Amino acid sequence: MLVTRLARAKALAVAALHPDAWVIGSDQAALLLDPYQQQRILGKPGDVANCVEQLRSSSGKTVSFLTAVALVRGSPAAEMEFVDTTRVTFRKLDESTIERYVARESPLDCAGGFKGEGLGIALCASIDSDDPTALIGLPLIQLCMLLRRVGFEIP
């Protein structure tokens, strides 16, 4: 899975520089079913036109936000990972709503062109999640479980 590979690669790159440390890597992508029931990956839009198009295609639909986390250590070698899925159902969005949102929030570096922790919440009809922190990019409930498993006292 793309997000798992990216999260692992990020963590391994840092762990190579700090082999005795536990390192956390994370990545997120959004998945949208197209009219032919094929999955379409919505990554970070990068520019306004792509962001508007991603939000237009998400209007009135449910988008699955997949957030992968990798916890790795170089020495002794250890690696754990998981993927959290949060389902966001967008309300029907008209062009002016999308344009206002993109201009005010500038979510060009967010999967699907959407920030649930900001003004993007106004674009939602519902959010289905086991971990409300996952949508902002780091599912802390499951991450804390992994960190406790490897010996961290939290809290």
**Which residues participate in catalysis according to the annotation?**
27
Per the CB < 8 A criterion, the answer to whether 97 and 105 are in contact is: no
Closest to 134 (Cα-Cα) out of 69, 59, 71: 69
Q: Where would I find the beta strands (DSSP E) of 19-77?
A: 22-33, 39-42, 62-73
Pairing of strands 39-42, 22-33: antiparallel
- For the chain, the C-alpha Rg in angstroms (whole number) is 17
C-alpha dihedral (112, 117, 119, 125), degrees to nearest 10: 70
Per the CB < 8 A criterion, the answer to whether 95 and 51 are in contact is: no
The residues, ordered by sequence, that sit 6+ positions from 127 with a Cβ below 8 Å of its Cβ are: 86, 87, 88, 89, 116, 135
